[in-house]
A and B are shown apart, each in its own frame.
Chain A
Amino acid sequence: MAKMTMIEAIRDAHDVAMAEDERVIVYGEDVGFFGGVFRVTAGLQEKYGQSRCFDAPINESGIVGTAIGMAAYGLKPVIEIQFADYVYPAFDQIVSEAARLRHRSNGDFTCPLVIRMPTGGGIFGGQTHSQSPEAIFTHVSGLKVLIPSNPADAKGLFLSAVADPDPVIFLEPKRLYNGPFDGHHDKPLQSWKKHELGEVPDGNNAIEIGKANITREGNDVTVLAYGTMVYVAEAAAEETGVDAEVIDLRSLLPLDLDTIKASVQKTGRCVIVHEATRTSGFGAELMSLVQETCFYHLEAPMIRVTGWDTPYPHAQEWEYFPGPARVGEALKKVMED
């Protein structure tokens, strides 16, 4: 066990995967010599050579499209989209191609591919470096969508994503890269190196895809969260004194509905938190599933706490971001209803 930031943990995961399997090829914008703008791939080119870790032209469709060809050949490409906000030019390749090769060719061609992208806000990135597009991907049959919230999960889920025979969207909450962030932006950041969740197992700690994690046990209300919002939810529970059970979904597609059901049927209340815009957000899907499976256990209407349906703003970042105050109000309200 070593203490690592989430960046170091994902880098370590690349190292493990590349050492284990020479078919693992890593590329993206600024990924090669420099090691990525967030330094996730630093040192990999030096260690594994230019043909296994290299810089790509600034063309996201080109990066994903070539990776699909490589996957069809038999390699296991792991590609970085520099910010999730930049993924849209690659959308056709992801939705119409990567996600469907297996189905449309009846398994003749498959697409084992990991598409990594830093996601979420809280870094004053404005509308082009802050978005949370996870719901767009969960709407596509054939994809898997993962979003870790701590260094050990990031490493373990990444290694499972690389081993997976199908394309995986791997979202990295960039506000968590260096330490857990609970939405109190005016307080100093605690580093993962000084946090118990900064402990990352050595070697291959693959974590099964599709399993949620209960990060805080409670009896009165279930909070469904993922990525940065896990810490915001925990902080809101502590600060309001509501006995909330916080579930870190970790995998949005496939989704661990059993864990969600068991918790909501126990607590009878449910608050859903995400940073992305509200309308047709992943919270809408969660709310539908809880309604379909837990209706007779619910004692109050469910509440969503989300980003507003606006472009992600710059100066108004903390008015947009669903911080602990807003989540706390929802917890109190759902208890009063």
Chain B
Amino acid sequence: MTDTYAPLSLHVPEPGCRPGDTPDFSDFEIPRAGDVKRPPEDVDPDDIRDMAFSIVRVLNKNGEAVGDWAGALTPDELRTGLRNMIKLRTFDARMQTAQRQGKTSFYMQHLGEEAVSCAFAGALKPGDMNFPTYRQAGLLLSTDYPMLTMMNQIYSNAEDPLHGRQLPIMYSSKENGFFTISGNLGTQFLQSVGWAMASAISGDTKVATGWIGDGSTAESDFHAAMVFASTYKAPVVLNIVNNQWAISTFQGIARGGVGTFAARGHGFGIASIRVDGNDYLAVHAVAKWATERARRGLGPTLIEHVTYRAGGHSTSDDPSAYRSGDEAAAWPLGDPIERLKTHLITIGEWSEERHTQAEAEILDEVVSTQKKAEAVGTLGDGKAPSPRDMFEGVYETMPSHLIRQRQEAGY
């Protein structure tokens, strides 16, 4: 080493593929389905550190479920999962179009990520609480929560359960285990840990799930949540949905020099697993494993769902400006609906005809529900929430200064 130094330069990571480039995922290491073993739920997190660098996968190229994470779901449950994913995709497509038609201000779809929230939902028990981001509506749509209520919320009409106060898709349903969504990123990750701590303080057996995107793991609240979850061994499952893109920013900007997002868990002594987020069976199996750990007081789990955001970030986004249009098709983990459909057909529990019929039935349901919602009103057209509602619910009891302002406003 000499004692002279070359001028330093700033390292800014770049994705491998920009508009006009040919997508190349050859560096993306994907283990074969069934390769990653299923450890017992009471495993020492230190003994499964390798799982943060591999990917739990169940469905192979031929549509067969293989390995010891397979076999947790019956054909009926798989068909329900498939229907839920089709429903979510159909719902998204209709609402995305409704936004383009000016019926609401904003929408965010799940295209390509349907398995993550739909498969996870089946691993939970009544009373558990999800703290989702804006891209886990499958956790709600997979319950008996009415689709009509979701649409009324999106249209901010007179039947909107949130009285027009919240942005579209920022649902809330305590009864269905779906915490009120915030547009501020990462805050809910900490709140999920607090909710789980409360369950433990109260001697309950309920668990919480926290959700965050790959980009938002850079928020301080992500790290705070990990500290609290680790320190108090909170009964929580912390989920990172790595869909590769945070609006226009590729995952490498948030990930930095670490190999994977899941590996963040190691510094906190938290069991950390990566899962194929487009494999319904794998997501469900890992969710079941992690919720079981939490419910038995064995500690938190960090799950990185490896998936791909096939659509734009939101209706306000145009991905063609920053990534290759061919990237979604080149994504090596495929499409979650196609993969589960192929599996069900492979095991003789589904067919192309039944699939087409299911799609038609679901489209009918979504369209007729949409008509009902639109009969009530859409944003700025039809029956709307009262302006008076804006003043309600800031506090349980309206203080005098708000009463004066409401009167001043004429309501």
Seen from chain A, the residues whose Cβ lies within 8 Å of a Cβ on chain B are 25, 51-52, 56-57, 59, 61-62, 65-70, 72-75, 77, 89, 92-93, 96-97, 101-110, 141-142, 144, 165-166, 210, 253-255, 257
B residues in contact with A57, CB < 8 Å: 224, 227-228, 231
B residues in contact with A89, CB < 8 Å: 220
Whether A65 and B190, one on each chain, are in contact in the complex, defined by CB atoms closer than 8 angstroms, is yes
Assembled-state Cα–Cα distance A92/B188 (Å):
11
Q: A92-B184, A93-B187, A104-B166 are in contact. Are A59 and B198 (CB under 8 A)?
A: no
Whether B394 and A75, one on each chain, are in contact in the complex, defined by CB atoms closer than 8 angstroms, is no
| The one of A68, A75, A106, A165 that contacts B161, using a Cβ cutoff of 8 Å | A106
Assembled-state Cα–Cα distance A259/B365 (Å):
59
14 contacts between A and B (CB under 8 A): A57-B231, A59-B224, A59-B227, A61-B220, A65-B191, A66-B193, A66-B228, A69-B192, A69-B194, A70-B197, A102-B395, A103-B393, A109-B179, A142-B395
| The one of A52, A66, A109, A141 that contacts B172, using a Cβ cutoff of 8 Å | A109
Which chain A residue shows the least CB distance to B393?
A103
Is B383 located at the chain interface by the 8 A CB criterion? no
Which chain A residue shows the least CB distance to B404?
A257
Most A Cβ at <10 Å: residue of B161, B202, B401: B202
Is B296 located at the chain interface by the 8 A CB criterion? no
A residues in contact with B194, CB < 8 Å: 65-70, 72-73, 77
Assembled-state Cα–Cα distance A247/B78 (Å):
68
A residues in contact with B399, CB < 8 Å: 210, 253-254
Whether B170 and A104, one on each chain, are in contact in the complex, defined by CB atoms closer than 8 angstroms, is yes
A residues in contact with B184, CB < 8 Å: 92, 96-97
Whether B198 and A142, one on each chain, are in contact in the complex, defined by CB atoms closer than 8 angstroms, is no
Whether A93 and B162, one on each chain, are in contact in the complex, defined by CB atoms closer than 8 angstroms, is no
| The one of B187, B197, B208, B401 that contacts A254, using a Cβ cutoff of 8 Å | B401
Is B372 located at the chain interface by the 8 A CB criterion? no
B residues in contact with A56, CB < 8 Å: 228
Q: A62-B228, A109-B179 are in contact. Are A103 and B165 (CB under 8 A)?
A: yes
| The one of A66, A105, A141 that contacts B180, using a Cβ cutoff of 8 Å | A105
Q: A57-B231, A102-B394, A103-B393 are in contact. Are A97 and B193 (CB under 8 A)?
A: no
Which chain B residue shows the least CB distance to A23?
B202
Whether B190 and A62, one on each chain, are in contact in the complex, defined by CB atoms closer than 8 angstroms, is yes
Assembled-state Cα–Cα distance A269/B227 (Å):
53
> 8 Å CB contacts to A: which residues of B145-199?
161-163, 165-166, 170, 172-174, 179-180, 182, 184, 187, 190-199
Whether A69 and B198, one on each chain, are in contact in the complex, defined by CB atoms closer than 8 angstroms, is yes
CB distance from A131 to the nearest CB of B (A): 21
Which chain A residue shows the least CB distance to B192?
A69
Whether B165 and A104, one on each chain, are in contact in the complex, defined by CB atoms closer than 8 angstroms, is yes
B residues in contact with A107, CB < 8 Å: 393, 396
A residues in contact with B166, CB < 8 Å: 104-105
A residues in contact with B394, CB < 8 Å: 102-103, 141-142
Beyond A61-B224, A66-B194, A75-B202, 12 additional contacts (C-beta under 8 Å) are A62-B221, A65-B221, A65-B224, A66-B190, A69-B193, A73-B195, A102-B396, A104-B162, A106-B161, A141-B394, A142-B395, A254-B399
B residues in contact with A106, CB < 8 Å: 161-163, 165, 172, 393
Whether A104 and B180, one on each chain, are in contact in the complex, defined by CB atoms closer than 8 angstroms, is yes
Which chain A residue shows the least CB distance to B184?
A96
Assembled-state Cα–Cα distance A101/B187 (Å):
12
> 8 Å CB contacts to A: which residues of B347-405?
393-396, 399-401
Q: A68-B191, A142-B394 are in contact. Are A108 and B172 (CB under 8 A)?
A: yes
Whether B396 and A61, one on each chain, are in contact in the complex, defined by CB atoms closer than 8 angstroms, is no
B residues in contact with A142, CB < 8 Å: 394-395
Q: A61-B220, A97-B187 are in contact. Are A72 and B195 (CB under 8 A)?
A: yes
Interface mask (B98-112 → A, CB under 8 Å = 1, otherwise 0): 000000000000000
